[in-house]
Amino acid sequence: MVTFVTPSIGRDTVGRTVRSLLAQNNSAWKSLVGFDAVDQALIDHLDLPQDDRISYINLPAKAGGGRNFGGGVRSQLISQIDSPWIAFVDDDDTLRPDYIDRLVDETQRHPTVRCVVFRMSYDPSDTNVLPPLGIGRPVKNKVGISFAVARSLLVDLNLNFENGPTEDFDLLNRIHAAGDTIVFSPHIVYNVRF
């Protein structure tokens, strides 16, 4: 079971993001969409799919540091999750239907892994993809939010996201510095802005 965390500032693309979860080949998922103190009238006008696995939460106060950062929202939502795995998808991105299948494959191939970084595509033809193949550690501007992490890892190391332009790299870098193994999957399962 994996819980997907989506911070949102109320973009009209958030419905498309959630629909990409509904299109997963594997149904062993839940979703927490956290609106960063968004005006309720805006949320009411969004095209938000309904499903028992999806929870929409409007945070009472800005957690994104007053800017368009999702770290604070992610950290607040993580504290509410009890599933073994947590994955992330931004409110203007989508996941490919085999995301969970690929996560299962990677955890079966690497039974002790607690963090899997997938590749993300920046265009439908997959000509611009990060991280590059063969990467063995987090590299600034070469990794993104396209990762899944064992909840136990975040709890054991007391790790949270910190708001900022490199919040995804910063968390991965702290996981790497703590000596935990990160698997860099060759699979593209994350679409950036499409």
pLDDT < 70 positions in the chain: 66-67
Q: What is the CATH number of domain 2-191?
A: 3.90.550.10
For residue 116, give both structure tokens: 């899997």
Single-letter code of the amino acid located at 7 = P
Percent helix, percent strand, percent coil in the chain, to nearest 5? 25, 25, 50
The CA-based angle 164-191-61, given to 5 degrees, is 35
Report if pTM > 0.85: yes
In this prediction, residue 131 carries a pLDDT of 97
In this prediction, residue 106 carries a pLDDT of 97
Whole-number Å distance between alpha carbons of 172 and 114: 11
In this prediction, residue 181 carries a pLDDT of 85
Whole-number Å distance between alpha carbons of 163 and 50: 29
Whole-number Å distance between alpha carbons of 46 and 3: 22
In this prediction, residue 92 carries a pLDDT of 96
- Domain map (residue ranges) of the chain: 2-191
In this prediction, residue 156 carries a pLDDT of 85
**What does residue 104 show for φ and ψ, rounded to 5 degrees?**
-60, -45
